[in-house]
Structure 1
Amino acid sequence: MSTGLIIALIVIAAVVVIAAAMTLRARGTRRGPSLKRRFGPEYERAVARHDGDTKAAERELTERVERHGDLRVRSLEPAQREQYEARWTAAQERFVDSPRDAVTEADRLIAEVAAVRGFPDGGQYEEQLAALSVHHAHHVDGYRRLHRAAHLRAEDARDGGQGTEDMREAMVAARALFEELLRPARHDGTGHTGARHEDGRHRAEPNGGSKASGTRGGHLPWAMNRRQAKES
């Protein structure tokens, strides 16, 4: 092989390597803003969890999308939606006399509905949460707070200063995800696809709920107020 041919092959190989590096860098540059738009507050939480290391956070979020981005969400029958609504309403009403039991039931209910819709089973909480964050990034933290409250022992809750008001706020925050999970899937043929902002969030209605199909008045009723609830 001639010296000229060897030099030509080396130059071609170098050009290919440089082009590949530039392509990867360009993809990385575009990925950051895209992940921010998709994950919103979850992006900031991931960055904080990685002590400000955005590259590590973006790797984690990219892995979530790769694992769960193609998840096919299953539809609920109208009767199922009504049953789940009734169970959530019962949990809210139970909060008045037994906040901790109500929070535990609400946590169990969200896990069940998510599993029925095709997300990982509630027994795999971390994986279920990761999948939900890909498809409901702007509401998943409410579920995280609810789950934490439901699994905090009573004595630990007292030591950590968690009272009835904290549990009430966790349950209110989790309701948004619950309503999202009751929405008809985009492919179920009902024509109800939900009104979304450009960032993927559903528009909030004036009454403070999101406009969920099948819920009365656009949101599920919250039967408990702060003064009624008894300390657990």
Structure 2
Amino acid sequence: MTTVVIIVAVVLVAALAFFLVVRGRSTGGRGLRRRFGPEYDRTVARHNGDTAAAERELSERVKLHGSLSERPLRPEAREAYARRWAEVQEQFIDSPRDAVVEADALLAQLAHDRGFPDGDSFEEQTDALSVHHAGQVDGYRRVHTAVRGQGGTEEMRKALIESRALFDVLLADAPAEPARTDRHEAKGSAAA
């Protein structure tokens, strides 16, 4: 009798495991869509609507960069970045192209300092950023495109504004496990 109960229990556990695996595969696209947001749609469009190819690419990004741990910035580095960004915004008035070039370089350096690939390849860096900051990475792409001379002053202005979202999230992210007082101070300094 106990043997029958054990066999039934094993069969039920195996059936449950099979169900969960099948269910997990069928919701993979929804999980990727939820994780990547607009980046999911951008990748599908780049693959001419082939969602399977786009999902393979996004899954590969997660495998390559998902375990990346963002490094914290020292407070003086955080302040220096904030000061440089303010200078970029001021520079835009007199020299939009130079400001966009500086914003592009500043974002690449900030991403590198936070632990993302150093941008030997812009695509490698944006792929890694998209895994962790999918909602903000497109502004960085727009700035990078503007640097290559595509678009007028209005397009550069919009690109600079959109790229600010990635700059802010990279600058404001707190260290992984800060002490309570550090977390409170980091929020206060980020708001200033």
Give the TM bin, normalised by the shorter chain.
0.7 to 0.9
Percent pairwise identity = 53
Say if 1:122 and 1:128, in contact at 8 Å, map to a contact too. Answer: yes
Q: C-alpha displacement at 1:22, in angstroms?
A: 7.4
Q: C-alpha displacement at 1:188, in angstroms?
A: 3.5
The equivalent of 2:8 in structure 1 is none
Q: 1:121 to 1:213 in 2, by over 3 A?
A: farther
Q: C-alpha displacement at 1:52, in angstroms?
A: 1.0
2:156 counterpart of 1:214: no
Q: 2:154 aligns with which of 165, 171, 174?
A: 165
Separation (CA, whole Å) in 1 of partners of 2:188 and 2:116: 20
What are the within-5 Å matches in structure 2 for residues 66-215 of structure 1? 66-152=63-149, 157=150, 162-183=151-172, 184-189=174-179, 190-191=182-183, 214-215=189-190
Separation (CA, whole Å) in 1 of partners of 2:159 and 2:49: 26
What are the within-5 Å matches in structure 2 for residues 1-20 of structure 1? none
The equivalent of 1:224 in structure 2 is none
Q: C-alpha displacement at 1:122, in angstroms?
A: 2.3
Q: C-alpha displacement at 1:170, in angstroms?
A: 0.1
Say if 1:75 and 1:188, in contact at 8 Å, map to a contact too. Answer: no
Q: C-alpha displacement at 1:216, in angstroms?
A: 4.7
Separation (CA, whole Å) in 2 of partners of 1:30 and 1:83: 43
- Letter in structure 1 aligned against 2:147: A
The equivalent of 1:57 in structure 2 is 54
Q: 1:34 to 1:177 in 2, by over 3 A?
A: same
The TM-score normalised by the length of structure 2 is 0.83
Query: More helix by proportion, 1 or 2?
Result: 2
The TM-score normalised by the length of structure 1 is 0.69
- Letter in structure 2 aligned against 1:166: E
Q: C-alpha displacement at 1:70, in angstroms?
A: 0.3
Q: 1:39 aligns with which of 32, 36, 40?
A: 36
Separation (CA, whole Å) in 1 of partners of 2:118 and 2:69: 14
Q: 1:144 to 1:213 in 2, by over 3 A?
A: farther
Say if 1:146 and 1:174, in contact at 8 Å, map to a contact too. Answer: yes
Deviates more, 1:46-55 or 1:172-181: 46-55
Q: C-alpha displacement at 1:104, in angstroms?
A: 0.2
Separation (CA, whole Å) in 2 of partners of 1:127 and 1:213: 33
